[in-house]
Amino acid sequence: MYTRTPAFIQRYEQNPVLSCKDVPYETGLVFNAGVAKWDNQYVMIFRNDLADMQTQTLHQGHTNLGIAWSPDGKQWEVPDTPFLSQEQAREKCRAFHEPRFGDQEIKRVYDPRITVLGDAAYLCFAADTPHGICGGVADLGDFDRFDVLSLSAPDNRNMVLFPEKINGKWARLERPFPIYGRPGPENFDIWYSESPDGIHWGRNRLVLGSEEVPYVNNKIGPAAPPVKTEKGWLTTFHGVYKDEETPLNAWHENWFKTYYAGLMLLDLERPWKVIGMMKEPLLVPETEHELKGFRGSVIFPGGMISEPDGTVNIYYGAADTVECLANAHVDDLLSQCTPLA
């Protein structure tokens, strides 16, 4: 178990960067946001859940996606209404999917990740259904629509789009959840897939197995969309360590999982090849915001922005309760990524 975040990464001193205090409509848990630069501003789309602290459960009918805008990536303003209400998200998915069980099928849309590709913005998201969890991609236009382009078969989620086409194809990282053939019930891995049009996805390749990450004994999954550097695609992922002996500080009584942020470097032309990986966690839950909340000891990155001065800002959900920010220099991040054994 790791207890220390390395010294080359600094947390924003005013964390959390966004919490329910900043949201002018019904809100509770504000976390797992996607972040991008758009039109000389920063834009964030975040998950907004309501939770019942007495029964330690989420209100099932209240997951919406909020939007926030910022001039500097630190001070955020949240408009008066959500970007996408739960009902709008369900309708948009239904319109695309024509699900067999109609309006009962899509339950909610969550964990948004923004990628700007060409001159449009896209959102990857997870959608819960009674027949499994699907991963989706939607066209956001100029942040004025949510047009679903694809919804996977279950179970898949944690999708992120690359910000450029790779060899002429759309590219994404994703995390299917295989229940057969892996050592444990939750040993999930990171995969790559490609598409000619953003609609039809295939040619899947395994990128990283959870057993290749030394601090993980459970699952891994893509986190923020990759950032291009001269050396390769730099990308975060989440990695989970499960200690069934030690309940962690959450509203749930039986919460045993620690979520770390991990870091890896993928080949520029063949991004399904891992060039290097940091062998220790990039971010370890340490602060009050990260250790205590709806699910304590959780760091779940969803946004990574590379600035012209070499600073890389990493946005992450903390304890499934608030949104936090940390930064490091791109050279320090790159030097941590050493070849897999």
> Of the listed pieces 94-102, 114-122, 294-302, 333-341, which binds ligand BMA according to CB under 6 A?
294-302
What whole-number distance in Å separates Cα of residue 186 and Cα of residue 182? Answer: 8
Of 163 and 293, CB closest to ligand BMA: 293
Residue 312 CB, nearest distance to ligand BMA (Å)? 21
Of 76 and 125, CB closest to ligand BMA: 125
What whole-number distance in Å separates Cα of residue 327 and Cα of residue 273? Answer: 25
Of 29 and 166, CB closest to ligand BMA: 29
317 binds ligand BMA (CB under 6 A): yes
Q: What sign for the dihedral angle of Cα 333, 191, 196, 38?
A: negative
What whole-number distance in Å separates Cα of residue 26 and Cα of residue 62? Answer: 9
42 binds ligand BMA (CB under 6 A): no
In the list 122, 125, 177, 300, the residue contacting ligand BMA (rule: CB under 6 A) is: 300
Tokens 């848990």 label which residue?
29
- DSSP secondary structure string for all residues of 140-176: EETTT--EEEEEPPSSEEEEEE-SS-BTTBEEEEEEE
- DSSP secondary structure string for all residues of 74-126: SS-B--SS-SB-HHHHHHHHHHHH--TTGGGT--EEEEEEEEEETTEEEEEEE
46 binds ligand BMA (CB under 6 A): no
Of 170 and 237, CB closest to ligand BMA: 237
298 binds ligand BMA (CB under 6 A): yes
Tokens 């990493």 label which residue?
314
Both structure tokens of 12? 């924003």
What whole-number distance in Å separates Cα of residue 275 and Cα of residue 264? Answer: 8
In the list 22, 224, 295, 323, the residue contacting ligand BMA (rule: CB under 6 A) is: 295
In the list 192, 259, 272, 315, the residue contacting ligand BMA (rule: CB under 6 A) is: 259
Residue 2 CB, nearest distance to ligand BMA (Å)? 17
In the list 22, 128, 320, 323, the residue contacting ligand BMA (rule: CB under 6 A) is: 320
Residue 266 CB, nearest distance to ligand BMA (Å)? 22
**Residue count, binding to ligand BMA (CB under 6 A):** 8
Of 195 and 235, CB closest to ligand BMA: 235
- Yes or no: say if 284 and 5 are a contact pair by the CB < 8 Å rule: yes
Residue 341 CB, nearest distance to ligand BMA (Å)? 27
187 binds ligand BMA (CB under 6 A): no
Strand order in the sheet with 132-141: 108-117, 120-129, 132-141, 147-151
Of 109 and 166, CB closest to ligand BMA: 109
> Of the listed pieces 6-14, 76-84, 161-169, 295-303, which binds ligand BMA according to CB under 6 A?
295-303
Q: Which residues are CB-neighbours of 20 under 8 A, at least 6 positions away?
A: 27, 28, 29, 30, 322
Tokens 């739960």 label which residue?
86
Of 226 and 293, CB closest to ligand BMA: 293
| Of residues 101-160, those binding ligand BMA (CB under 6 A) | 111
226 binds ligand BMA (CB under 6 A): no
> Of the listed pieces 82-90, 136-144, 293-301, 326-334, which binds ligand BMA according to CB under 6 A?
293-301
3-state SS, residue 135? strand
- Yes or no: say if 129 and 139 are a contact pair by the CB < 8 Å rule: no
Which residues make up the interface to ligand BMA (CB under 6 A)? 32, 111, 259, 295, 298, 300, 317, 320
